[in-house]
Amino acid sequence: MASGAAEKGKALVDGSESAAESAARWAREWSTWAMKKAKVVAHYGFIPFVILVGMNSEPKPRLAQLLSPI
C-alpha cells in the first residue's frame, strides 16, 4: 500500500519510530493479511457452508437427492 511504504520510508529516514506508530503499522498490516485470508476462506468455503447447513436442517435430505439431477 502506498501509505505503508511511505511510513516505512519515514521510519528508515528517522532511524526510529515511536511505539504508537509501529503498533498502528502492525495493526494495519495484520488486518490486511486477515482480510485477504478471510476472502479466500469465504470464496472457497461459502457454498460448502450453505450446503452443510442445508443438509443438516430438518427434514434431513439424503445425499442421493443432493447429487441427482431430478
Partner 1 sequence: MGSAASAAVPPPPPPAQVQAGSLPYGPGLAGILPPKPEGEEKKEEKKVDYLNLPCPVPFEEIQREALMSLKPELFEGLRFDFTKPLNQKFSLSHSVFMGSLEVPSQSTETIKVPTAHYEFGANFLDPKLMLIGRVMTDGRLNARVKCDLTENLTLKVNAQLTQEPHYSQGMFNFDYTGSDYRTQFQIGNNAFYGANYIQSVTPYLSMGAEIFWLGHQRKSGIGFASRYNTDKMVGTLQVASTGIVALSYVQKVSEKVALASDFMYNHMSKDVTASFGYDYLLRQCRLRGKIDSNGVVAAYLEERLNMGVNFLLSAEIDHCKKNYKFGFGMTVGE
Q: Match 502492525 to its residue by C-alpha cell.
A: 26
18 vs 45 by CB, closer to partner 1: 45
Minimum Å distance from CB 29 to partner 1? 16
Question: Do the Cβ atoms of 25 and 4 come closer than 8 Å?
Answer: yes
65 contacts partner 1 (rule: CB under 8 A): yes
Q: What does the alpha-carbon distance between residue 40 and residue 42 come to, in Å, rounded to a whole number?
A: 5
Q: By the criterion CB under 8 A, which residues form the site for partner 1?
A: 39, 42-43, 46-47, 49-51, 53-55, 57, 59-61, 65-66, 69-70
